[in-house]
Structure 1
Protein backbone atom coordinates (compact mmCIF):
# COMPACT_ATOMS: atom_id res chain seq x y z
CA UNK A 1 0.00 0.00 0.00
CA UNK A 2 1.37 3.40 -0.97
CA UNK A 3 1.82 5.90 1.88
CA UNK A 4 -0.65 8.77 2.20
CA UNK A 5 -0.28 12.30 3.51
CA UNK A 6 -3.09 13.90 5.52
CA UNK A 7 -3.61 17.67 5.72
CA UNK A 8 -6.29 19.51 7.69
CA UNK A 9 -7.04 22.62 5.63
CA UNK A 10 -9.92 25.04 5.00
CA UNK A 11 -10.74 24.90 1.29
CA UNK A 12 -12.32 28.37 1.45
CA UNK A 13 -8.74 29.69 1.81
CA UNK A 14 -6.96 29.74 -1.56
CA UNK A 15 -3.51 29.71 0.06
CA UNK A 16 -4.44 26.60 2.05
CA UNK A 17 -5.49 24.77 -1.11
CA UNK A 18 -2.29 25.81 -2.86
CA UNK A 19 -0.39 24.31 0.07
CA UNK A 20 -2.18 20.99 -0.43
CA UNK A 21 -0.98 20.89 -4.05
CA UNK A 22 2.54 21.88 -2.99
CA UNK A 23 2.71 19.02 -0.48
CA UNK A 24 1.53 16.57 -3.17
CA UNK A 25 4.36 17.75 -5.41
CA UNK A 26 6.93 17.62 -2.60
CA UNK A 27 5.94 14.18 -1.30
CA UNK A 28 4.84 12.36 -4.47
CA UNK A 29 6.28 14.34 -7.37
CA UNK A 30 2.88 15.67 -8.42
CA UNK A 31 -0.59 14.33 -9.12
CA UNK A 32 -2.69 13.37 -12.13
CA UNK A 33 -6.14 13.47 -10.50
CA UNK A 34 -7.71 16.07 -8.22
CA UNK A 35 -11.04 15.59 -6.40
CA UNK A 36 -12.99 18.51 -4.93
CA UNK A 37 -15.24 16.97 -2.30
CA UNK A 38 -15.35 19.22 0.79
CA UNK A 39 -18.86 20.31 1.67
CA UNK A 40 -21.02 21.91 4.34
CA UNK A 41 -24.74 22.50 4.64
CA UNK A 42 -27.68 23.83 6.59
CA UNK A 43 -31.22 22.66 7.23
CA UNK A 44 -33.91 25.32 7.48
CA UNK A 45 -35.80 27.81 5.34
CA UNK A 46 -33.99 30.59 3.50
CA UNK A 47 -35.29 33.06 6.08
CA UNK A 48 -34.32 30.93 9.08
CA UNK A 49 -30.70 30.52 8.00
CA UNK A 50 -28.63 33.63 8.88
CA UNK A 51 -27.03 35.39 5.92
CA UNK A 52 -23.59 34.73 7.41
CA UNK A 53 -24.29 30.99 7.26
CA UNK A 54 -25.48 31.31 3.65
CA UNK A 55 -22.11 32.89 2.83
CA UNK A 56 -20.18 30.24 4.71
CA UNK A 57 -21.87 27.43 2.76
CA UNK A 58 -20.85 29.21 -0.45
CA UNK A 59 -17.31 29.75 0.85
CA UNK A 60 -16.88 26.00 1.35
CA UNK A 61 -19.02 24.42 -1.36
CA UNK A 62 -18.49 26.86 -4.25
CA UNK A 63 -15.28 28.76 -3.57
CA UNK A 64 -13.64 25.61 -2.23
CA UNK A 65 -14.33 23.89 -5.56
CA UNK A 66 -13.21 27.00 -7.47
CA UNK A 67 -9.93 27.16 -5.54
CA UNK A 68 -9.26 23.46 -6.01
CA UNK A 69 -10.14 23.54 -9.70
CA UNK A 70 -7.85 26.49 -10.44
CA UNK A 71 -4.94 25.02 -8.48
CA UNK A 72 -5.36 21.61 -10.11
CA UNK A 73 -5.66 23.05 -13.62
CA UNK A 74 -2.41 25.00 -13.22
CA UNK A 75 -0.58 21.81 -12.26
CA UNK A 76 -2.21 19.53 -14.84
CA UNK A 77 -1.89 21.78 -17.90
CA UNK A 78 1.61 20.54 -18.57
CA UNK A 79 1.04 16.85 -17.85
CA UNK A 80 -2.66 16.07 -18.37
CA UNK A 81 -5.02 14.47 -15.92
CA UNK A 82 -8.48 14.66 -14.41
CA UNK A 83 -10.42 17.09 -12.24
CA UNK A 84 -13.44 15.60 -10.48
CA UNK A 85 -15.96 17.86 -8.76
CA UNK A 86 -18.59 16.52 -6.40
CA UNK A 87 -21.96 18.03 -7.17
CA UNK A 88 -25.26 16.50 -6.14
CA UNK A 89 -28.63 15.54 -7.51
CA UNK A 90 -29.47 18.93 -6.02
CA UNK A 91 -27.33 20.40 -8.81
CA UNK A 92 -30.32 19.59 -11.05
CA UNK A 93 -33.18 20.69 -8.84
CA UNK A 94 -33.80 22.18 -5.39
CA UNK A 95 -35.51 20.91 -2.25
CA UNK A 96 -37.01 22.87 0.62
CA UNK A 97 -35.02 23.25 3.86
CA UNK A 98 -31.68 23.06 1.99
CA UNK A 99 -31.76 26.25 -0.08
CA UNK A 100 -28.16 27.43 0.44
CA UNK A 101 -26.76 23.96 -0.24
CA UNK A 102 -28.87 23.59 -3.40
CA UNK A 103 -27.72 27.00 -4.63
CA UNK A 104 -24.07 26.06 -4.19
CA UNK A 105 -24.50 22.79 -6.05
CA UNK A 106 -26.18 24.58 -8.97
CA UNK A 107 -23.20 26.96 -8.97
CA UNK A 108 -20.73 24.06 -8.90
CA UNK A 109 -22.39 22.59 -11.99
CA UNK A 110 -22.00 25.90 -13.85
CA UNK A 111 -18.40 26.25 -12.69
CA UNK A 112 -17.57 22.70 -13.81
CA UNK A 113 -19.14 23.18 -17.24
CA UNK A 114 -17.31 26.49 -17.72
CA UNK A 115 -13.97 25.02 -16.66
CA UNK A 116 -14.42 22.11 -19.05
CA UNK A 117 -15.08 24.44 -21.99
CA UNK A 118 -12.21 26.78 -21.17
CA UNK A 119 -9.71 23.93 -20.88
CA UNK A 120 -11.01 22.48 -24.14
CA UNK A 121 -10.47 25.84 -25.87
CA UNK A 122 -6.89 25.85 -24.58
CA UNK A 123 -6.31 22.34 -25.89
CA UNK A 124 -5.41 21.15 -22.38
CA UNK A 125 -5.46 17.38 -21.93
CA UNK A 126 -7.56 17.56 -18.75
CA UNK A 127 -10.90 15.82 -18.29
CA UNK A 128 -13.45 17.54 -16.05
CA UNK A 129 -16.19 15.41 -14.49
CA UNK A 130 -19.14 16.35 -12.31
CA UNK A 131 -20.36 13.54 -10.06
CA UNK A 132 -23.93 13.80 -8.77
CA UNK A 133 -24.50 11.56 -5.76
CA UNK A 134 -27.93 10.85 -4.37
CA UNK A 135 -28.45 10.26 -0.64
CA UNK A 136 -25.20 8.81 0.71
CA UNK A 137 -24.69 7.17 4.10
CA UNK A 138 -22.39 9.82 5.56
CA UNK A 139 -22.86 12.06 8.63
CA UNK A 140 -23.84 15.02 6.42
CA UNK A 141 -27.19 15.52 8.22
CA UNK A 142 -25.52 15.29 11.62
CA UNK A 143 -22.79 17.74 10.60
CA UNK A 144 -25.09 20.27 8.90
CA UNK A 145 -26.25 23.29 10.91
CA UNK A 146 -29.89 22.60 11.75
CA UNK A 147 -32.70 25.14 12.19
CA UNK A 148 -35.57 22.64 11.88
CA UNK A 149 -37.62 21.39 14.82
CA UNK A 150 -36.27 17.83 14.58
CA UNK A 151 -32.85 16.40 13.65
CA UNK A 152 -32.35 16.08 9.87
CA UNK A 153 -32.07 12.84 7.95
CA UNK A 154 -31.54 11.78 4.34
CA UNK A 155 -34.55 10.54 2.35
CA UNK A 156 -34.25 7.05 0.83
CA UNK A 157 -32.90 5.34 -1.17
CA UNK A 158 -29.58 5.49 0.66
CA UNK A 159 -26.25 4.43 -0.90
CA UNK A 160 -22.93 3.48 0.71
CA UNK A 161 -20.00 5.91 0.31
CA UNK A 162 -18.21 3.22 -1.71
CA UNK A 163 -20.64 3.90 -4.58
CA UNK A 164 -19.36 7.46 -4.85
CA UNK A 165 -15.76 6.29 -4.45
CA UNK A 166 -16.35 3.90 -7.36
CA UNK A 167 -17.59 6.80 -9.50
CA UNK A 168 -14.61 8.96 -8.53
CA UNK A 169 -12.08 6.24 -9.39
CA UNK A 170 -13.76 5.61 -12.73
CA UNK A 171 -13.69 9.34 -13.55
CA UNK A 172 -9.97 9.47 -12.71
CA UNK A 173 -9.30 6.82 -15.33
CA UNK A 174 -12.04 7.46 -17.91
CA UNK A 175 -13.16 10.90 -19.12
CA UNK A 176 -16.86 11.45 -18.52
CA UNK A 177 -18.86 14.66 -18.44
CA UNK A 178 -21.29 13.62 -15.69
CA UNK A 179 -21.80 10.56 -13.51
CA UNK A 180 -24.84 9.87 -11.33
CA UNK A 181 -23.99 7.89 -8.19
CA UNK A 182 -27.32 6.28 -7.38
CA UNK A 183 -30.43 5.59 -9.42
CA UNK A 184 -32.72 7.54 -7.09
CA UNK A 185 -30.92 10.76 -7.94
CA UNK A 186 -31.16 10.18 -11.68
CA UNK A 187 -34.90 9.51 -11.45
CA UNK A 188 -35.38 12.72 -9.47
CA UNK A 189 -33.47 14.68 -12.11
CA UNK A 190 -35.45 13.18 -15.00
CA UNK A 191 -38.76 13.85 -13.25
CA UNK A 192 -37.75 17.46 -12.64
CA UNK A 193 -37.14 17.98 -16.35
CA UNK A 194 -40.27 16.17 -17.51
CA UNK A 195 -42.72 17.47 -14.90
CA UNK A 196 -41.24 20.40 -12.96
CA UNK A 197 -44.43 21.36 -11.09
CA UNK A 198 -45.07 17.78 -10.00
CA UNK A 199 -41.43 17.56 -8.94
CA UNK A 200 -41.86 20.76 -6.89
CA UNK A 201 -44.76 19.22 -4.98
CA UNK A 202 -42.82 16.02 -4.33
CA UNK A 203 -39.78 17.93 -3.10
CA UNK A 204 -41.97 20.04 -0.83
CA UNK A 205 -43.37 16.88 0.74
CA UNK A 206 -40.03 15.09 0.95
CA UNK A 207 -38.34 18.18 2.34
CA UNK A 208 -40.80 18.70 5.17
CA UNK A 209 -41.50 15.05 6.06
CA UNK A 210 -38.71 12.71 4.93
CA UNK A 211 -35.87 15.08 5.87
CA UNK A 212 -36.74 15.14 9.58
CA UNK A 213 -36.61 12.51 12.32
CA UNK A 214 -39.94 12.72 14.16
CA UNK A 215 -39.90 12.49 17.96
CA UNK A 216 -36.09 12.44 18.03
CA UNK A 217 -34.35 14.98 20.29
CA UNK A 218 -31.03 14.38 18.54
CA UNK A 219 -27.57 14.11 20.09
CA UNK A 220 -26.79 17.28 22.07
CA UNK A 221 -23.08 16.40 22.08
CA UNK A 222 -22.81 16.44 18.29
CA UNK A 223 -21.89 19.76 16.65
CA UNK A 224 -22.05 20.90 13.04
CA UNK A 225 -19.00 21.43 10.83
CA UNK A 226 -20.03 24.71 9.22
CA UNK A 227 -17.10 26.67 10.65
CA UNK A 228 -14.90 23.94 12.13
CA UNK A 229 -14.12 20.40 10.91
CA UNK A 230 -15.57 17.42 12.77
CA UNK A 231 -14.25 13.88 13.04
CA UNK A 232 -16.90 12.37 15.32
CA UNK A 233 -18.39 10.04 12.70
CA UNK A 234 -17.67 8.36 9.39
CA UNK A 235 -21.17 7.09 8.61
CA UNK A 236 -24.63 8.50 9.21
CA UNK A 237 -26.80 7.55 12.18
CA UNK A 238 -29.82 6.48 10.12
CA UNK A 239 -31.14 2.99 10.76
CA UNK A 240 -31.63 2.35 7.04
CA UNK A 241 -29.88 -0.19 4.81
CA UNK A 242 -27.44 1.53 2.46
CA UNK A 243 -27.16 0.01 -1.00
CA UNK A 244 -23.60 -1.01 -1.81
CA UNK A 245 -23.92 -0.79 -5.59
CA UNK A 246 -25.72 1.24 -8.24
CA UNK A 247 -26.95 -0.30 -11.47
CA UNK A 248 -27.29 3.19 -12.93
CA UNK A 249 -23.62 3.93 -12.24
CA UNK A 250 -22.50 0.63 -13.77
CA UNK A 251 -24.53 1.40 -16.90
CA UNK A 252 -22.83 4.79 -17.21
CA UNK A 253 -19.45 3.06 -17.22
CA UNK A 254 -20.26 1.34 -20.49
CA UNK A 255 -18.86 2.79 -23.70
CA UNK A 256 -21.45 5.19 -25.17
CA UNK A 257 -21.67 3.11 -28.36
CA UNK A 258 -22.42 -0.05 -26.36
CA UNK A 259 -25.01 1.80 -24.30
CA UNK A 260 -26.66 3.11 -27.47
CA UNK A 261 -26.77 -0.37 -28.96
CA UNK A 262 -28.38 -1.63 -25.77
CA UNK A 263 -31.08 1.04 -25.93
CA UNK A 264 -31.74 0.33 -29.62
CA UNK A 265 -31.83 -3.41 -28.94
CA UNK A 266 -34.31 -2.93 -26.12
CA UNK A 267 -36.50 -0.83 -28.41
CA UNK A 268 -36.45 -3.50 -31.11
CA UNK A 269 -37.28 -6.19 -28.56
CA UNK A 270 -40.28 -4.20 -27.35
CA UNK A 271 -41.46 -3.64 -30.91
CA UNK A 272 -41.17 -7.34 -31.79
CA UNK A 273 -42.99 -8.39 -28.63
CA UNK A 274 -46.11 -6.44 -29.53
CA UNK A 275 -48.96 -8.65 -30.79
CA UNK A 276 -49.59 -8.39 -34.49
CA UNK A 277 -52.97 -7.31 -35.80
CA UNK A 278 -54.29 -10.34 -37.74
CA UNK A 279 -57.74 -8.89 -38.40
CA UNK A 280 -58.78 -8.39 -41.99
Structure 2
Protein backbone atom coordinates (compact mmCIF):
# COMPACT_ATOMS: atom_id res chain seq x y z
CA UNK A 1 0.00 0.00 0.00
CA UNK A 2 1.38 3.40 -0.96
CA UNK A 3 1.36 5.62 2.12
CA UNK A 4 3.19 8.80 1.12
CA UNK A 5 0.00 10.83 0.88
CA UNK A 6 -0.55 10.24 4.59
CA UNK A 7 3.10 10.26 5.63
CA UNK A 8 4.60 12.44 8.31
CA UNK A 9 7.11 14.98 7.00
CA UNK A 10 9.69 14.04 9.63
CA UNK A 11 11.78 11.99 7.18
CA UNK A 12 11.18 14.18 4.13
CA UNK A 13 14.60 14.91 2.54
CA UNK A 14 16.37 13.24 5.48
CA UNK A 15 19.38 11.10 4.60
CA UNK A 16 19.04 7.51 5.78
CA UNK A 17 21.88 4.99 5.54
CA UNK A 18 20.81 1.33 5.66
CA UNK A 19 23.31 -1.53 5.85
CA UNK A 20 22.25 -4.82 4.32
CA UNK A 21 19.58 -2.89 2.47
CA UNK A 22 18.94 -4.99 -0.63
CA UNK A 23 16.77 -7.73 0.86
CA UNK A 24 14.38 -8.58 3.65
CA UNK A 25 13.74 -6.00 6.34
CA UNK A 26 16.43 -3.68 4.97
CA UNK A 27 14.83 -3.48 1.53
CA UNK A 28 11.33 -3.10 2.97
CA UNK A 29 12.55 -0.29 5.21
CA UNK A 30 14.29 1.43 2.27
CA UNK A 31 11.01 1.38 0.36
CA UNK A 32 9.00 2.61 3.34
CA UNK A 33 11.37 5.50 4.02
CA UNK A 34 11.46 6.37 0.33
CA UNK A 35 7.67 6.66 0.49
CA UNK A 36 8.17 9.12 3.36
CA UNK A 37 10.46 11.27 1.21
CA UNK A 38 13.84 10.18 2.55
CA UNK A 39 17.03 10.07 0.53
CA UNK A 40 18.68 6.67 0.83
CA UNK A 41 22.21 5.36 1.08
CA UNK A 42 22.17 1.58 0.80
CA UNK A 43 25.12 -0.67 1.64
CA UNK A 44 25.22 -4.26 0.45
CA UNK A 45 27.57 -6.79 -1.07
CA UNK A 46 26.38 -7.13 -4.69
CA UNK A 47 26.39 -4.30 -7.20
CA UNK A 48 23.61 -5.73 -9.42
CA UNK A 49 21.22 -5.97 -6.45
CA UNK A 50 22.10 -2.41 -5.43
CA UNK A 51 21.58 -1.09 -8.94
CA UNK A 52 18.22 -2.83 -9.19
CA UNK A 53 16.99 -1.41 -5.87
CA UNK A 54 18.21 2.12 -6.62
CA UNK A 55 16.39 1.99 -9.96
CA UNK A 56 13.23 0.66 -8.29
CA UNK A 57 13.26 3.46 -5.71
CA UNK A 58 13.70 6.06 -8.45
CA UNK A 59 11.04 4.61 -10.78
CA UNK A 60 8.35 3.75 -8.23
CA UNK A 61 8.93 6.25 -5.41
CA UNK A 62 10.77 9.14 -7.08
CA UNK A 63 13.44 8.65 -4.43
CA UNK A 64 17.06 9.72 -4.59
CA UNK A 65 19.29 6.80 -3.61
CA UNK A 66 22.94 5.84 -3.63
CA UNK A 67 23.92 2.16 -3.64
CA UNK A 68 27.41 1.27 -2.42
CA UNK A 69 29.12 -2.11 -2.33
CA UNK A 70 30.44 -2.48 1.20
CA UNK A 71 31.23 -5.33 3.57
CA UNK A 72 30.41 -3.80 6.94
CA UNK A 73 32.93 -6.12 8.59
CA UNK A 74 35.66 -4.06 6.88
CA UNK A 75 36.11 -0.88 8.93
CA UNK A 76 38.04 0.96 6.20
CA UNK A 77 35.41 0.09 3.58
CA UNK A 78 32.71 1.45 5.87
CA UNK A 79 34.66 4.69 6.39
CA UNK A 80 34.95 5.13 2.63
CA UNK A 81 31.26 4.42 2.07
CA UNK A 82 30.16 6.88 4.75
CA UNK A 83 32.51 9.52 3.34
CA UNK A 84 30.92 9.05 -0.11
CA UNK A 85 27.45 9.33 1.42
CA UNK A 86 28.35 12.56 3.20
CA UNK A 87 29.96 13.91 0.03
CA UNK A 88 26.83 13.12 -1.99
CA UNK A 89 24.13 14.21 0.45
CA UNK A 90 25.89 16.50 2.93
CA UNK A 91 25.44 14.27 5.98
CA UNK A 92 23.52 11.39 7.56
CA UNK A 93 20.37 11.85 9.62
CA UNK A 94 19.46 8.23 10.32
CA UNK A 95 21.66 5.14 10.48
CA UNK A 96 19.97 1.74 10.26
CA UNK A 97 22.31 -1.08 11.33
CA UNK A 98 20.52 -3.93 9.59
CA UNK A 99 23.23 -6.11 8.00
CA UNK A 100 23.39 -9.54 9.57
CA UNK A 101 24.10 -13.22 9.06
CA UNK A 102 23.23 -16.31 11.07
CA UNK A 103 24.20 -19.94 11.44
CA UNK A 104 22.61 -23.19 12.52
CA UNK A 105 25.03 -25.57 14.17
CA UNK A 106 25.83 -26.79 17.65
CA UNK A 107 28.54 -25.00 19.59
CA UNK A 108 30.76 -28.11 19.53
CA UNK A 109 30.49 -28.42 15.75
CA UNK A 110 30.93 -24.72 14.96
CA UNK A 111 34.40 -23.68 13.85
CA UNK A 112 35.99 -20.59 15.33
CA UNK A 113 35.90 -18.88 11.95
CA UNK A 114 32.10 -19.00 11.99
CA UNK A 115 31.96 -17.25 15.37
CA UNK A 116 34.40 -14.65 14.07
CA UNK A 117 32.44 -14.03 10.85
CA UNK A 118 29.06 -13.73 12.61
CA UNK A 119 30.50 -11.30 15.14
CA UNK A 120 32.34 -9.41 12.39
CA UNK A 121 29.12 -8.72 10.50
CA UNK A 122 26.45 -8.54 13.21
CA UNK A 123 28.39 -6.78 15.95
CA UNK A 124 31.46 -5.14 14.47
CA UNK A 125 29.52 -4.19 11.33
CA UNK A 126 27.13 -2.13 13.44
CA UNK A 127 30.06 -0.74 15.43
CA UNK A 128 31.94 0.28 12.27
CA UNK A 129 28.91 1.99 10.72
CA UNK A 130 28.09 3.82 13.93
CA UNK A 131 31.67 5.00 14.49
CA UNK A 132 31.87 6.28 10.93
CA UNK A 133 28.48 8.01 10.90
CA UNK A 134 28.49 9.38 14.46
CA UNK A 135 30.07 12.80 13.74
CA UNK A 136 27.37 13.52 11.16
CA UNK A 137 24.61 12.14 13.39
CA UNK A 138 25.79 14.37 16.25
CA UNK A 139 25.88 17.43 14.02
CA UNK A 140 22.34 16.77 12.78
CA UNK A 141 20.66 15.44 15.95
CA UNK A 142 20.14 12.14 14.20
CA UNK A 143 18.98 8.67 15.06
CA UNK A 144 20.56 5.21 15.22
CA UNK A 145 18.34 2.18 14.63
CA UNK A 146 19.78 -1.26 15.41
CA UNK A 147 18.21 -4.51 14.25
CA UNK A 148 18.52 -7.00 17.08
CA UNK A 149 16.35 -10.10 17.48
CA UNK A 150 14.15 -12.25 19.63
CA UNK A 151 17.44 -13.92 20.59
CA UNK A 152 18.57 -10.65 22.17
CA UNK A 153 16.72 -11.74 25.30
CA UNK A 154 15.63 -15.35 24.61
CA UNK A 155 18.37 -17.82 23.58
CA UNK A 156 17.83 -20.09 20.58
CA UNK A 157 19.44 -23.51 20.27
CA UNK A 158 22.15 -24.03 17.65
CA UNK A 159 22.62 -20.26 17.21
CA UNK A 160 25.30 -19.62 19.85
CA UNK A 161 27.31 -17.20 17.67
CA UNK A 162 24.18 -15.40 16.50
CA UNK A 163 22.78 -15.15 20.04
CA UNK A 164 26.11 -13.81 21.30
CA UNK A 165 26.23 -11.15 18.58
CA UNK A 166 22.74 -9.89 19.44
CA UNK A 167 23.49 -9.75 23.17
CA UNK A 168 26.63 -7.80 22.32
CA UNK A 169 24.57 -5.29 20.31
CA UNK A 170 22.36 -4.66 23.33
CA UNK A 171 25.38 -4.10 25.55
CA UNK A 172 26.97 -1.70 23.09
CA UNK A 173 23.95 0.37 22.09
CA UNK A 174 22.31 0.58 25.50
CA UNK A 175 25.59 2.05 26.76
CA UNK A 176 25.83 4.37 23.76
CA UNK A 177 22.26 5.57 24.28
CA UNK A 178 23.14 6.66 27.81
CA UNK A 179 26.34 8.37 26.67
CA UNK A 180 24.41 10.27 23.98
CA UNK A 181 21.40 11.20 26.11
CA UNK A 182 22.19 14.94 26.07
CA UNK A 183 23.41 15.05 22.46
CA UNK A 184 20.10 14.93 20.61
CA UNK A 185 20.96 11.58 18.99
CA UNK A 186 18.40 8.82 19.59
CA UNK A 187 19.21 5.10 19.77
CA UNK A 188 16.53 2.49 19.14
CA UNK A 189 16.99 -1.27 19.44
CA UNK A 190 14.52 -3.30 17.38
CA UNK A 191 13.69 -6.91 18.29
CA UNK A 192 11.66 -8.66 15.61
CA UNK A 193 10.48 -12.23 15.99
CA UNK A 194 10.61 -14.66 13.09
CA UNK A 195 10.40 -12.77 9.80
CA UNK A 196 9.99 -14.08 6.25
CA UNK A 197 13.44 -13.16 4.93
CA UNK A 198 16.30 -15.04 3.26
CA UNK A 199 18.46 -14.90 6.40
CA UNK A 200 17.88 -18.59 7.24
CA UNK A 201 18.33 -19.65 3.61
CA UNK A 202 21.82 -18.18 3.70
CA UNK A 203 22.68 -19.49 7.17
CA UNK A 204 26.15 -20.84 7.75
CA UNK A 205 26.76 -24.30 9.14
CA UNK A 206 29.54 -25.40 11.45
CA UNK A 207 32.31 -25.50 8.85
CA UNK A 208 31.44 -22.06 7.51
CA UNK A 209 29.71 -23.20 4.34
CA UNK A 210 26.15 -22.34 3.37
CA UNK A 211 23.84 -25.33 3.30
CA UNK A 212 20.12 -25.75 2.73
CA UNK A 213 18.30 -25.72 6.04
CA UNK A 214 15.26 -27.90 6.73
CA UNK A 215 11.94 -26.15 7.41
CA UNK A 216 11.70 -24.95 10.99
CA UNK A 217 8.68 -25.43 13.22
CA UNK A 218 8.48 -21.72 14.01
CA UNK A 219 5.67 -19.66 15.47
CA UNK A 220 4.04 -16.64 13.89
CA UNK A 221 6.09 -15.25 11.00
CA UNK A 222 5.92 -11.55 10.13
CA UNK A 223 6.41 -10.06 6.68
CA UNK A 224 9.35 -7.69 6.10
CA UNK A 225 6.84 -5.00 5.13
CA UNK A 226 5.01 -5.27 8.45
CA UNK A 227 8.29 -5.11 10.36
CA UNK A 228 9.42 -2.10 8.31
CA UNK A 229 6.14 -0.28 9.02
CA UNK A 230 6.50 -0.90 12.75
CA UNK A 231 10.09 0.38 12.68
CA UNK A 232 9.03 3.46 10.71
CA UNK A 233 6.27 4.33 13.18
CA UNK A 234 8.58 3.75 16.17
CA UNK A 235 11.29 5.90 14.55
CA UNK A 236 8.81 8.75 14.17
CA UNK A 237 8.39 8.64 17.96
CA UNK A 238 12.14 8.09 18.51
CA UNK A 239 11.48 5.09 20.73
CA UNK A 240 14.29 3.46 22.69
CA UNK A 241 13.15 -0.14 22.23
CA UNK A 242 10.78 -1.80 19.79
CA UNK A 243 9.70 -5.39 20.40
CA UNK A 244 7.53 -6.61 17.55
CA UNK A 245 4.13 -8.03 18.31
CA UNK A 246 5.00 -11.47 16.92
CA UNK A 247 7.61 -11.94 19.66
CA UNK A 248 6.09 -14.33 22.18
CA UNK A 249 5.67 -12.34 25.42
CA UNK A 250 5.90 -15.62 27.35
CA UNK A 251 9.41 -16.13 25.99
CA UNK A 252 10.47 -12.74 27.28
CA UNK A 253 9.02 -13.30 30.74
CA UNK A 254 10.04 -16.93 31.16
CA UNK A 255 13.58 -16.48 29.82
CA UNK A 256 14.15 -13.59 32.25
CA UNK A 257 12.47 -14.81 35.41
CA UNK A 258 11.83 -18.55 35.00
CA UNK A 259 14.72 -19.89 32.90
CA UNK A 260 14.17 -23.57 33.71
CA UNK A 261 10.54 -23.32 32.66
CA UNK A 262 11.59 -21.49 29.48
CA UNK A 263 14.08 -24.24 28.63
CA UNK A 264 11.47 -26.94 29.07
CA UNK A 265 8.44 -25.32 27.45
CA UNK A 266 9.48 -22.74 24.86
CA UNK A 267 13.13 -23.14 23.93
CA UNK A 268 12.68 -26.19 21.65
CA UNK A 269 9.76 -24.61 19.76
CA UNK A 270 11.44 -21.23 19.34
CA UNK A 271 14.55 -23.01 18.08
CA UNK A 272 12.54 -24.73 15.35
CA UNK A 273 12.59 -28.18 16.93
CA UNK A 274 9.55 -30.39 16.81
CA UNK A 275 8.24 -31.41 20.24
CA UNK A 276 9.36 -34.86 21.35
CA UNK A 277 7.40 -37.28 23.48
CA UNK A 278 8.42 -37.07 27.09
CA UNK A 279 10.48 -39.94 28.50
CA UNK A 280 9.70 -41.59 31.81
CA UNK A 281 11.93 -43.53 34.13
Do both share a fold (TM > 0.5)? Answer: yes
Aligned match of 1:153: 216
| Structure-2 separation of matches of 1:154 and 1:58 | 26
Unaligned stretches of 5+ residues in structure 1:
212-280
Q: In the alignment, is the contact (CA less than 8 A) between 1:82 and 1:171 conserved in 2?
A: no
- 1:136 aligned to which of 181, 188, 195: 195
* Rg larger in structure: 1
Aligned match of 1:124: 183
Within-5 A mapping of 1:230-245: none
Q: Quote how far apart the aligned CAs of 1:67 are.
A: 1.0
Within-5 A mapping of 1:28-47: 28-47=89-108
Within-5 A mapping of 1:134-213: 134-147=193-206, 151=214, 153=216, 155-206=218-269, 207=271, 209-210=273-274
Q: In the alignment, is the contact (CA less than 8 A) between 1:142 and 1:152 conserved in 2?
A: no
Q: In the alignment, is the contact (CA less than 8 A) between 1:34 and 1:82 conserved in 2?
A: yes
Aligned match of 2:81: 20
Q: In the alignment, is the contact (CA less than 8 A) between 2:97 and 2:129 conserved in 1?
A: yes
| Structure-2 separation of matches of 1:143 and 1:169 | 26
| Paired residue secondary structure (1:84) | strand
| Paired residue secondary structure (1:113) | helix
CA RMSD of aligned residues (A): 2.1
Give yes or no for the alignment of 1:61 onto 2:122: yes
Give yes or no for the alignment of 1:113 onto 2:204: no
Question: How many corresponding residue pairs?
Answer: 209
Q: Residues 48 and 82 of structure 1: is their aligned pair in 2 closer, same or farther, counting only changes over 3 Å?
A: same
Aligned match of 2:109: 48
Q: Quote how far apart the aligned CAs of 1:190 are.
A: 2.2
Q: Quote how far apart the aligned CAs of 1:203 are.
A: 4.4
Unaligned stretches of 5+ residues in structure 2:
1-61, 276-281
Q: Residues 204 and 114 of structure 1: is their aligned pair in 2 closer, same or farther, counting only changes over 3 Å?
A: same
| Structure-2 separation of matches of 1:150 and 1:30 | 41
| Structure-2 separation of matches of 1:204 and 1:181 | 19
| Paired residue secondary structure (2:187) | strand
Aligned match of 1:97: 158
| Structure-2 separation of matches of 1:109 and 1:26 | 31
| Structure-1 separation of matches of 2:145 and 2:133 | 10
Q: Residues 125 and 162 of structure 1: is their aligned pair in 2 closer, same or farther, counting only changes over 3 Å?
A: same
| Paired residue secondary structure (2:65) | coil
| Paired residue secondary structure (1:136) | coil
Q: Residues 186 and 10 of structure 1: is their aligned pair in 2 closer, same or farther, counting only changes over 3 Å?
A: farther
Q: Residues 210 and 119 of structure 1: is their aligned pair in 2 closer, same or farther, counting only changes over 3 Å?
A: farther
| Paired residue secondary structure (2:201) | helix
Q: Give me the TM-score of the superposition, normalised by structure 2.
A: 0.69
Q: Residues 76 and 16 of structure 1: is their aligned pair in 2 closer, same or farther, counting only changes over 3 Å?
A: same
Q: Residues 169 and 7 of structure 1: is their aligned pair in 2 closer, same or farther, counting only changes over 3 Å?
A: same
